Structure 1
Amino acid sequence: MSSIAEQIKVLDNLPGVYQFYDVDEKLLYVGKAKKLKNRVASYFNKKKFENGKTKAMVGKVAKIKTIHLDSEIDALLLENKLIKEYQPKYNIQLKDDKTYPWICIKNELFPRIFYTRKKIKDGSAYFGPYPSVKMVKTVIEMAKKCFEIRSCNHVLTKEKIEKGEFNTAVDFYIGNCKGCCQGKVTVSSYNERIQHVKAAL
């Protein structure tokens, strides 16, 4: 097997995901990077580590694998998928907060999408867990933008919408909201968008 220095030397500075394996080819850690070579090399150029667990992990790395992707967002999504699938030892141990965030699609009229650390049995759909809040926020913002999901926190009902009880948010005027609270969106068309979000998650 090539040395770590030799493995790093042939890496490209492209967006993607990197995976660290030990001598028995057991997956230790999964990470993402905008520039793979720079990020991977940074682990092995350090004289001081943030904590003992990172130092211990680096000392066990015998093999490095990378997956090139088109963008940092693609890398973030694949990183999350691999962590959930394989549960690498050091992704878990290096996490300060052991309560991972979930994406919730609320069981309600014109469902909201938000992140939470608690799963409630109320018929809502949950996706995750994700390794970081930053990742969750990025995914949620992408979903809202791509599928035109409402960003307000109104608890909408048919009766309240018909009575005009809700004020129009700024997002409506700048085109980021289609006006669910104003009766400008049908339930069926909105639910179709929600199904697209679920399929993407």
Structure 2
Amino acid sequence: MNSSLERKIEVLPELPGVYKFLDSKGEILYIGKAINLRKRVTSYFSKELNDRPRIRQMMPLVKDISITEANNEIEALILESALIRRLQPQFNSALKDDKSYAWIYISTKEKFPTVKIVRSTEKGEYKNGKLFGPYPSGFTIKRVYTYLRKLYPFCTCKNKDCASSLYFHIGLCPGPYIGAISEEDYRKNINSIIKFLQGKKENHIKRLEKEMNIYSRHQEYEKASQLRDRIKDLRYIGESIDFTYYDEALSYETKRESARKKSFEYLATELGMENLKRIECYDISNIQGKHAYGSMVVAVDGKLERSHYRIFKIRGGDNPNDPAMLTEVLQRRFNNLQKTYDESLSSIPDLLLIDGGKGQLSVVKEYIPNSIYLMGISKGKHFKRAGLLLKDEFWFVKDGEILQTEILNPEILIDLRNEAHRFAITHYRKQSIKQSKMSILDEIDGIGTKRRKELLTKFKSVDGIKKAKEDEIYEVIKNRVVVKKIIEKLTNL
């Protein structure tokens, strides 16, 4: 694996999404989904998946990785399927034809419309209704369909014989053909399904909450509790599906990119900046000053540029002093501006954001070039209305003065602060685990400084030693007794 690819994998987010493996020409070799992008992609470069012939054949060709983050697991699953269908990657053996896809079809022209799963959209009858999809077959489509039917019962009875239908007796068919529900109320259920699949769930939830409160005030507690359960289910499935009409997978990626760029444009307008292309955000992670690290995360045109992320190990002692540590990080970062071929460190940000308020800004502002817009974000003293969370406060430097400001569209700044914090914490934990594993070698009788260094030089890490065969370790140690102690100790890790 080349160093550039290794670097990309290290900074992948631990979030749901879709990953693409690319060859040296930028052609897509494989598309996959993940609940945790970093963990899943990393597994391809270990022995974990090497027993699969197609994977063994593909991995030497992989020269680059591209990802698209999703809001949740199901969104990633649907996006993966749609992209495979659209792009037809060489190493994806499944999901390449329409038979692997399913749609939800609503027959809106009937007196009592029905909802069903269909495997093809070629039939002329589907033009007389609404199609939503595609969804991957199996788990996803069935989960969506089942929850929708539970929330908004609809009729699928053959021969319109609701009375003998099991679904009617378990509450999944409202019995329109036997007068158990009016045509108007049945239509409300169907319209609710359509609105939900069109992504209008939040307005619908608010309306249901109002109805629930009215029932509660009138002491109609059974109806109120039914609506409460419906809202709960809606929120659950709403977390699983956050989009509609997935006919063009690439349009989803395009929309996400467009939304990010617009967030940059809105922020630039608010701050009165003519140009806002690159934002860098910095955070410090430490426990009482020890093992301190500074993180730098970057967004360009609204998109997180993970290959430009950097970690700075703090050199200035172990005293817990965040402003001093932040100053060290920024000095090192800008001292390298003209001395490096590293694109990340030679690029000048338009806006620099620190995780800190007035105090931190007053210390670090002297070290930031005047051409860079300097801001800080800190937890305020006032609570937000919902959830009693502390409201973020925003600060900026103007003509040497530090002023507080209101930001109407703060999402991009908050996301960057959270990303910088996540990146710093992730690195800290990784180093802590690595350090604890290193110390395990010191606990083994017969392993001194020299032998420990030889083992780590040969096997790169404690995990590498653990995976090695007994004879391979013996080649380094030349002592069977000590080798057995090493294996025994590491087996219990």
Letter in 2 for 1:28: L
Shift of 1:106: 5.4
Letter in 1 for 2:105: I
Q: In 2 relative to 1, CA 86–138 (structure 1 residues): closer, same or farther, beyond 3 Å? A: farther
The answer (yes or no) to whether the contact 2:15–2:35 under 8 Å persists in 1 is yes
Shift of 1:74: 2.5
Shift of 1:115: 4.6
Q: In 2 relative to 1, CA 70–122 (structure 1 residues): closer, same or farther, beyond 3 Å? A: closer
Verify: 1:122 aligned to 2:120, yes or no.
no
**In 2, distance between residues paired with 1:85 and 1:111?**
29
The answer (yes or no) to whether the contact 1:179–1:185 under 8 Å persists in 2 is no
The answer (yes or no) to whether the contact 2:77–2:136 under 8 Å persists in 1 is no
Extract unaligned runs of 5+ from structure 2: 199-243, 246-493
Moved more, 10-19 or 77-86: 77-86
Classify the secondary structure of the residue corresponding to 1:183. Answer: coil
Q: In 2 relative to 1, CA 155–47 (structure 1 residues): closer, same or farther, beyond 3 Å? A: closer
- Report what 2:114 is aligned to: 111
Letter in 1 for 2:114: P
- 1:65-84 equivalences under 5 Å are 65-84=66-85
Match among 170, 179, 186 for residue 174 of structure 2 = 179
For residues 143-200 of structure 1, the C-alpha deviation after alignment (integer angstroms, 9 at most, x for no partner) is 445x6253x641364xx56xx5656332x2xxxx472442255353244235336642
- Report what 2:152 is aligned to: 148
Normalised TM-score (structure 1): 0.70
Match among 116, 138, 145 for residue 143 of structure 2 = 138
Letter in 2 for 1:105: Y
- 1:1-201 equivalences under 5 Å are 2-46=3-47, 49=50, 51-91=52-92, 93-94=93-94, 99-105=99-105, 107=107, 109-116=112-119, 120-123=123-126, 130-141=135-146, 143-144=148-149, 148-150=152-154, 153-155=156-158, 157=160, 168-170=168-170, 172=171, 177=172, 179-181=174-176, 182-184=180-182, 186=184, 187-196=186-195, 199=198, 200-201=244-245
Extract unaligned runs of 5+ from structure 1: none
**In 2, distance between residues paired with 1:11 and 1:81?**
22
For residues 5-39 of structure 1, the C-alpha deviation after alignment (integer angstroms, 9 at most, x for no partner) is 33212212222221111111112222211111110
The answer (yes or no) to whether the contact 2:88–2:96 under 8 Å persists in 1 is no
Query: Greater helix percent: which structure?
Result: 2
Identity over aligned residues, as a percent?
27
Q: In 2 relative to 1, CA 67–148 (structure 1 residues): closer, same or farther, beyond 3 Å? A: same
RMSD: 3.5
Letter in 1 for 2:27: K
Normalised TM-score (structure 2): 0.33
Shift of 1:119: 5.5
**In 1, distance between residues paired with 2:133 and 2:51?**
27
The answer (yes or no) to whether the contact 2:78–2:134 under 8 Å persists in 1 is no
Letter in 2 for 1:133: G
**In 2, distance between residues paired with 1:98 and 1:69?**
23
**In 2, distance between residues paired with 1:24 and 1:149?**
51
For residues 69-93 of structure 1, the C-alpha deviation after alignment (integer angstroms, 9 at most, x for no partner) is 33212222322332333232322x2
The answer (yes or no) to whether the contact 2:16–2:36 under 8 Å persists in 1 is yes
Higher RCO (Cα < 8 Å, 6 or more apart): 1
Classify the secondary structure of the residue corresponding to 1:11. Answer: coil
Q: In 2 relative to 1, CA 83–189 (structure 1 residues): closer, same or farther, beyond 3 Å? A: same
**In 1, distance between residues paired with 2:147 and 2:31?**
22
The answer (yes or no) to whether the contact 1:20–1:63 under 8 Å persists in 2 is yes
Letter in 2 for 1:148: Y
The answer (yes or no) to whether the contact 1:23–1:61 under 8 Å persists in 2 is yes
Q: In 2 relative to 1, CA 97–195 (structure 1 residues): closer, same or farther, beyond 3 Å? A: closer
Q: In 2 relative to 1, CA 141–59 (structure 1 residues): closer, same or farther, beyond 3 Å? A: farther
